[in-house]
Amino acid sequence: MKRNKYGGAILALAGVLGTAGLAAAQTPTQPSGSGSMDLGVSAGASSTGDSQAAATATSEAPPGYAPGVAPTQPPAAAQRPPPPPATLPPPGTLPPPVPPPPPAAPELPDHEKVAGQSGVGLLGVTTVDHVLADGESTSGSSLPLIGLRHWAASKGWGWQLGVGASHHSGTSSDSTPGRDNVDDPTVWNMGLHFGLPLAVYWDDHYTFLVLPNVNGGYSTWRQLDNDNTPGDQGVSGNTWAVSGGVRVGAEVHFGFIGVPMLTLQGTVGADLVWQRTRVEAVEAGREVTHGRWGLDLRTADFNDPWALFTNSISALYYFQ
């Protein structure tokens, strides 16, 4: 019985030693004294140290941490989203640049502003001659021509048409006792003008012209007897005239003062004139007829010093 008692004690001691050896193999070796008691103390210290480390790690863990449980992330709403990356449009998608404004159109010359337009005004002055009672002396009547000029849209040519008329009559009084008043000659003049203006060159405010033209005129007159003079002085007559020629000059536009539609034209030239005159008078109690015709080539008709201006200057105003 005693042997069995000691044998069980030995078996129990061997089991304790085996357990201690297994624990020593799984944990770091700690300095200790000799004997089995040191192994038990060392194992107890190691177990105590592991518990303190675990407690420290648990106290320093973020909120919501639990041993053996994966840490939880804060809600997505509490996180600030990162800024979006800067993006550039792909090549070729940029809007085209704004084109610059077109340059201002150049100012047209005044002549081009009246192209395709019509103007009215004074086309000049012509003179119709007629023979006096003696059949030799002549007298001229000035005839202003008022008309219309139209420039074609092509700007290089146009046409003009003018007409003119004049009339004269009157009485000369005499305060001398026994003398009667004397009638002045009664004169009627009519004229027709047609021209074909050609613009050979133009610039800002002027145009150089060549003007072929044709003119026709008719004049009739009558002089009654003078009762204060013995004899017959009554005379009547008429004249037909046709002329054609070419004039050259310039048309100046008043665009430099802002009125390009107003023009002043000056020309000189040469005309070939055919004229026929017939005069009827009473001489020595019988009626006598005088007639003459002529063909003249002349560069100008300046019966008066100022005829250089009055017979060569014309003015027109064009309507848009």
Tokens 């055919």: give the residue: 274
* pLDDT tens readout for residues 190-232: 899 999 999 999 999 999 999 999 998 888 888 777 766 776 6
The per-residue pLDDT for 183 is 77
The per-residue pLDDT for 34 is 40
The per-residue pLDDT for 47 is 45
Least confidently predicted of 22-36, 149-163, 196-210: 22-36
The per-residue pLDDT for 78 is 56
Q: Which domains does the chain carry? A: 110-319 (2.40.160)
**Which two tokens mark 290?**
């005088």
8 or 35, higher pLDDT: 8
- Percent of the chain having pLDDT more than 90? 23
What residues have CB less than 8 Å from 14, skipping those under 6 apart?
A: none
* pLDDT tens readout for residues 81-110: 777 777 766 766 677 788 888 887 788 899
